Amino acid sequence: MRKLYKASLSVFLRSKNLSLPYLVLLALIVAYFGFCFNNYLHYFSVAIWLVRSCIFLVAFFIYCSYELAVRMYDNNMVEYLKTYQQGLLKAYAAIILCLLTIIALPSIMFFAFILFMYYYNDVQYLPFLIHLMKLSILYFGLSFLIGIMLGTAMAAKLKTKRLAVYSLTVIFMLLNTTFTDVLFRVPYLLFNSYQTERMLYYFKDFLTVVPYQLGNNFIIDPIYGFPTEPIRWILAVFWILFPLTLILTECFDRKTKKAMLVTSYLIVLLGVGLFSNRGSTLLMDMRVDSYPYADPHYYQDRPGEDYSGNEAGFMIEEYKMDLTISNELHAEVEVTIDNHDLDSYDFTLYHGYILKSVRTEDGEIPFARLGDYIRIGSLNGADRLIFKYYGKSPKYYANRQAIALPGYFAYYPKPGRTNIWDLDRYGYVINTSPNESKYSVHVRSNLKVFCNLAGSGNSFHGKSDGVTLLAGMYDEVAKNIYAEPMRSDLPKREYIREAEEILTNLFKRLDRPEPELFSRISEKKFFQAPQNFGLNSNTEDIVIMSDHITAISCNNGPQLAESIMESIIKPQADSLCMSHYRQYLKYLFNRQDETDPLFQNAVDLNLLLKEIDEMQFLAAKNSNVDRETYLNMNEQEKKAHSDDEKRLSNLGQIVSEKAAKYLFYESPRQEENLRIFFDYFTAESEADYLELVERIVKEELGDDRS
Amino acid sequence: MIAVKNLSKSFKKKAALNSVNLQLDAKVYGLLGANGAGKTTLIRCIAGLYASPQGEILYRNEPIHKSKSFHQDLGYLPQAFGMFQELTLYEMMEYICSLKGIAKRKCANEIAKALTSVNLEDRAKDRIKTLSGGMVRRVGIAQAILGNTKVMLLDEPTAGLDPSERARFKNTVSELKKDRLILISTHIVEDVDACCHSVIVIDGGSVLFNGSCEELRNIAKNKVYQINEKDADSIVGEKYILKVCEIEGKIYHRILAKENQDYPSEKPSLEDGYMCLVKRLA
């Protein structure tokens, strides 16, 4: 075999169309490392840039392996090689061995560079190093191996049909980038066919050997890292074994050939079967099913209902949660209900979780499932219910790579009917229990799970209004502070204390009682939530629960305090109101930029009132224009309408800034105004913001005039 | 050595071989037939390259696909033969030795012997791409004899060779034929005449003749006539003009006739015997 290997290697090295591009490739890799080193020193950025180049390398190795293996066909060698005892098999084995040597060098280079960057960045977090090693094996080892297996298999099957081989290679390469996404999106974008899009993406995903594709601009969440879920390894093994069986069918005759064919069919069936049950994976692209779009899309056609006042009629005293996190969440949750005399019980459980059964001590009971809601009839005196379900959420993942299940998300049955998504605020509803329940949680997972409850060994217990589970590249970075250790913006206890102090002083200043949740926040467990939580939601920057806090970032005390303050705005507030609120917070936290031109002169209140009038006039005028009216307008009217809308938009910003500056900065009743507007923003007020501004300004003008 | 029993092979619906029966011993056989007669199919079947032919091919009384020694004893030169152009002749021979499973210590000796027998020992260090077409065919023979093979199947070994290379090939075969079964497929009758003990004539997938060269010649005995062009019409019965030649300014036809003619018959050549068979004039 050594001679065969040596000969194959000699053929490769002496072929100018193989060895020269290979040497150029090695030089380019070194140059690329230099580029990455100079420009993207941050831990994940380097890896992202390296992974981006991966598909080109895979395509290059398809080329190399095809061109090397096809030489046997170009030179009419196969016919006589087949007459030797397993001659063709040995020849292919030698070629594959030679190609393994060829890919070994760039693989080692990538591996070494990643290792170098790890130590250069001084991350010192072993799970991250392990992740990088997995990444190197999967993306810079197995994917290259897939390249050589595909190239060799194409030589074995398509022989000298180069046009077919290179067309397939280009298609394969394009499918491993986001550039072809638009084709896969056509069914949905043009025909609103979500199912067809899903089916096409299924096909695309199956062919994806580089999951973080070229053209993907989504950031990699440090808790999750690059997709290296078990299905990625299974797919990689599939794309190695399947071409291998195709090659072997060429090398054998008769029974063995038939056995190889049967094996290849079985491998396809197994691959497709396992792929179909891949469970929770992180999809970060433009498809409807992906992380950022799935839920906004789902809830777009299912607007939230007003469930306020629609009390559950019962509370859950105790949860016993037995969770198994394999490729997705499998749960058995026992709840103890305080009121067992109701005719029916409503629960909220995210629609991605498939409810298998609901039981009491007496056996299974019927239930009705509609979207996120479960309705159960009378319990006949039973006080315990056992829910058995499994499934996944596109955003709140739970698999063998990472877990991100925040306590405010209905991944376990929550009492009553509550909305999961708030279309107005474009974010998830912070859905915590109205009472603190007793929890006993056991998680079966290959990961070390971090929870707001006390416990160890993935078993937790305690009282809270929600159970948050986080795992992956995640750790306790300081006492009761949990975060991804390699992040540069790690939360610190002093930030939380500072925020707590700022908030206490603010509430004193506002002469309002500090909400119970805000008190003693520095004593609560702090969980840094995955960065991407903010990608499709405006409500999760910071969430304060009875015993813990989850926050996307915590860079300093004032910012954290402001985030906390921002989170208390009532959910029914619309986006315009949010904009006013942010102006309000700017002044409340003394964050105004006094070098801004706005601060060169005092606000002209008469002009402000005029602008408010104009705004109200334009808003009223535009509100009468519905789609039909607009379509019936002539061009001149349409232009006038468009001008009005632009003017209204400009005025909105101007008035918001001026009003905030006057009311919360210039006004002699500045403190009182801060209080009035605090009540306005935090109460469920239906009043119009501009009317309130107008009234106060007029009052103040009246005061001045008097 | 090799027994072919009721061998049939079809490609889709077209029959390439029909119930071929042959007994091949340690001799040199010439497999004669027109293009498309089934020569290559027969050779490939014997070489075990087709997965499912009907019938049986036995090597030393054992089906070839079950025989452990068949592949070791087989040397095969396909019609289209090539090698890695980037390797030297010696490296290529080493490569083939490895594929054939020849022990490492024997390789050098085997290669030297094989190259000497095809007169290429002085080109051992040359790259394959520098060799001429004739040399490549000779390398093909060298690879076939590597490992002291007992059975050599040579498919159109002289196709495309110039006369001197063909002569050299005949010499090579003469040197190799001792204790070997050599089956040479060709449509060039002279090659068979020069170096084969026996001839197998195949046409339309069926064996028409299997015997010695003399026997093949005798088939055309009293059937070959050389007559003046003017007398050509006087031939009685079925006839076939083998060739037209000019002798001392007169045009003569060499004719193959089924019935006895009133002209003196010529001494038949192997080609006459072959034509007699394939034109069904025997």
Q: Distance from A259 to chain B by nearest Cα, in Å? A: 14
What is the reported pLDDT for A575?
58
CB atoms within 10 A of CB B145: 21
| C-alpha to C-alpha distance for B191 and B153, rounded to whole angstroms | 15
Whether residue A38 is predicted with pLDDT greater than 50 in this model: the reply is yes
Three-state secondary-structure class, residue A322? strand
> What is the three-class DSSP state of A523?
helix
Beta carbons of A11 and B65 less than 8 Å apart: no
pLDDT at residue A213, as a whole number? 78
Of the ranges A233-247, A681-695, B50-64, which one carries the lowest mean pLDDT score? A681-695
More confident residue, A73 or B243: A73
- Band (pLDDT 50/70/90 cuts) for residue A571 is very low
Higher pLDDT, A141 or A681: A141
Are B51 and A253 an interchain contact pair (Cβ–Cβ within 8 Å)? yes
Cβ pair A77:B74 closer than 8 A: no
Mean pLDDT of chain B: 85
A67 interaction partners in chain B (CB closer than 8 Å): none
If you average pLDDT over residues A260-287, what whole number do you get?
Answer: 86
Contacts of residue B56, defined as CB under 8 A and 6 or more positions apart, other chains included, come to: B3, B4, B5, B6, B7, B63
Test the B interface: residue of A13, A76, A79 with most B CBs within 10 Å: A79
Q: Percent of chain A beyond pLDDT 70?
A: 96
- Measure the N-to-C terminal CA separation of chain B; round to a whole number of Å: 30
- pLDDT, tens digit (0-9, with 9 covering 90-100), for A320-333: 999 999 999 999 99
Q: Sorting pLDDT into bands at 50, 70 and 90, what band is B262? A: confident
- Burial-class residue B171 by CB neighbours within 10 Å (0-12, 13-18, 19+): middle
pLDDT, residue A455, reads 92
pLDDT tens digits along A575-632: 567 778 888 888 888 888 888 888 888 888 888 888 888 888 888 888 778 778 888 8
Separation between Cα atoms, residue B186 and residue B189, nearest integer Å: 7
B197: confidence class by pLDDT, cuts 50, 70, 90: confident
Nearest-angstrom CA–CA distance, A603 and A608: 8
Query: Is the pLDDT at A535 greater than 60, yes or no?
Result: yes
Q: What distance, in Å, lies between the first and last C-alpha atoms of chain A?
A: 105
| A contacts of B71 (beta carbons < 8 Å) | 83-85
Min CA distance, A247 vs chain B (Å)?
A: 17
Indicate the pLDDT class of residue B132, thresholds 50, 70 and 90: confident
Q: Are B143 and A80 an interchain contact pair (Cβ–Cβ within 8 Å)?
A: yes
Average pLDDT, chain A: 88
Percent of chain A surpassing pLDDT 90: 39
Sign of CA dihedral A508, A509, A515, A519: negative
In angstroms, rounded to a whole number, what is the distance separating the alpha carbons of residues A588 and A503?
11
Residue tagged 């063909």 (tokens): B166
- Min Cα distance B150 → chain A (Å) is 14
Q: What tokens appear for A356 in the block? A: 């298998």
Q: What is the mean pLDDT of residues A70-74?
A: 92
pLDDT tens-digit profile of A481-490?
999 988 877 8
Q: Is the pLDDT score of A310 beyond 70?
A: no
Tell me the range of A93-97, A539-543, B262-266 where mean pLDDT is highest.
Answer: A93-97
CA-CA distance, A701 to A533, in Å (whole number)? 45
| CA-only gyration radius of chain A, Å | 31
Mean pLDDT for the stretch of residues A118-147: 90
C-alpha A150/C-alpha A203 separation (Å) is 17
For A208-237, how does the pLDDT look when each residue is reduced to its tens digit (9 = 90+)?
888 787 778 788 888 999 988 888 999 999
For B66, residues 6+ apart whose C-beta sits below 8 A from its C-beta are none
Average pLDDT over residues A307-326: 86
Confidence of residue A567 (pLDDT cuts 50, 70, 90): confident
Q: How many CB atoms lie within 10 A of CB A341?
A: 9
- What's the Cα-to-Cα distance from A343 to each of A363, B83, B216, rounded to whole Å? 18, 85, 106
pLDDT at residue A605, as a whole number: 86
Q: Is A17 part of the contact surface with chain B (CB cutoff 8 Å)?
A: no
The yes-or-no verdict on residue A572 having pLDDT over 60 is no
pLDDT of residue A706: 42
Lowest mean pLDDT among A246-250, A580-584, A669-673, B20-24: A580-584
Interface of A with B in 235-274 (CB under 8 A): 253-254, 257
By CB atoms closer than 10 A (0-12, 13-18, 19+), residue A161 is middle
One-letter identity of residue B116:
T
Q: What is the pLDDT of residue A153?
A: 95
Residue B154 DSSP SS3: strand
Q: pLDDT confidence of B191, banded at 50, 70, 90?
A: confident
What average pLDDT does range A78-92 have in this prediction?
Answer: 88
Model confidence at A669: pLDDT above 60: yes
Asked whether the beta carbons of A394 and A289 are under 8 A apart, the reply is yes
Out of A38-47, A66-75, A656-665, B245-254, pick the least confident: A38-47
B226 φ, ψ to 5°?
-115, 110
**What is the residue-wise DSSP string for B1-52?**
-EEEEEEEEEETTEEEEEEEEEEE-SSEEEEE--TTSSHHHHHHHHHT-SS-
Tokens standing for A533? 């939580």
pLDDT tens track for A163-190: 999 999 999 999 888 888 888 888 888 8
Residue type, A154: M
CB A4 within 8 A of CB A94: yes
Q: Which residue has the tokens 């299905």?
A: A231
Contact B100 A74 (CB under 8 A): no
Cβ–Cβ contact A10 with B under 8 A: yes
Phi, psi of A593 (to 5 degrees): -95, 105
Q: Do B99 and A90 touch (CB under 8 A)?
A: yes
β-bridge partners, B228: B252
Instruction: From residue A388, give the alpha-carbon distance in Å to each of A58, A236, A399, A556.
Output: 43, 33, 18, 42
Q: CB of A4 within 8 Å of any CB in chain B?
A: yes
Q: At what angle do helices A635-661 and A689-705 cross, to 10 degrees?
A: 60
Q: Are A62 and A147 in contact (CB under 8 A)?
A: yes
Residues of B within 8 A of A77 (CB-CB) are: 82-84
Inter-residue contact B203 to B278 (CB < 8 Å) = yes
Pick left, alpha or beta for residue B36 (phi over 0 → left; psi -120 to 50 → alpha; otherwise beta).
left
Q: What is the pLDDT of residue A570?
A: 60
pLDDT, position A432: 82
DSSP 8-state symbol, A599: G
**pLDDT average, residue stretch A232-261:** 87
Rounded average pLDDT over B216-233: 82
Q: How far is the C-alpha of B11 from the C-alpha of B131, rounded, in Å? A: 35
pTM of this structure: 0.84
At A528, is the pLDDT very low, low, confident or very high (cuts 50, 70, 90)? very high
Alpha-carbon torsion B94, B100, B103, B107, what sign? negative
A15 contacts chain B (CB < 8 A): yes
From residue A189, alpha-carbon distances to A182, A183, A213, B216, B223 in Å are 9, 10, 22, 78, 84
**pLDDT score recorded for residue B225:** 84
Look at residues A463, A330, A305, A304 and name the one whose alpha carbon lies nearest to residue A399.
A330
Q: How far is CA A512 from CA A515, A519, B100, in A?
A: 9, 13, 93
Total H helices, total E strands in chain B: 9, 13
Lowest average pLDDT, out of A52-66, A110-124, B249-263, goes to B249-263
Give A24: exposed, middle or buried? Use CB within 10 Å, 0-12, 13-18, 19+: exposed
**The token pair that represents A61 in the structure block:** 């190795």
Average pLDDT over residues A653-681: 87
What are φ and ψ of residue A320, in 5° steps?
Answer: -120, 110
Contact A275, A235 (CB under 8 A): yes
Q: Order of strands, edge to edge, in the sheet holding B224-228? A: B224-228, B250-257, B239-247
Choice between A512 and A42, residue whose per-residue pLDDT is larger? A512
User: Of the ranges A571-575, B103-107, B228-232, which one carries the lowest mean pLDDT score?
Assistant: A571-575
Query: Does the structure show a pLDDT above 60 at A704?
Result: no
Question: Are B96 and B62 a contacting pair, CB within 8 Å?
Answer: no
* Structural tokens at position A107: 């693989």
Q: Are strands B74-77 and B151-155 parallel, antiparallel or unpaired?
A: parallel
Average pLDDT estimate for A345-349: 93
pLDDT, tens only, A427-460: 898 888 778 899 999 999 999 999 999 998 999 9
Q: Which residues of B touch A79 (CB under 8 A)?
A: 44, 49, 76, 78, 80
Test A84 with B71 for CB contact under 8 angstroms: yes
Does residue B186 carry a pLDDT above 70? yes
- The CA distance from A492 to A556, in Å, is 8
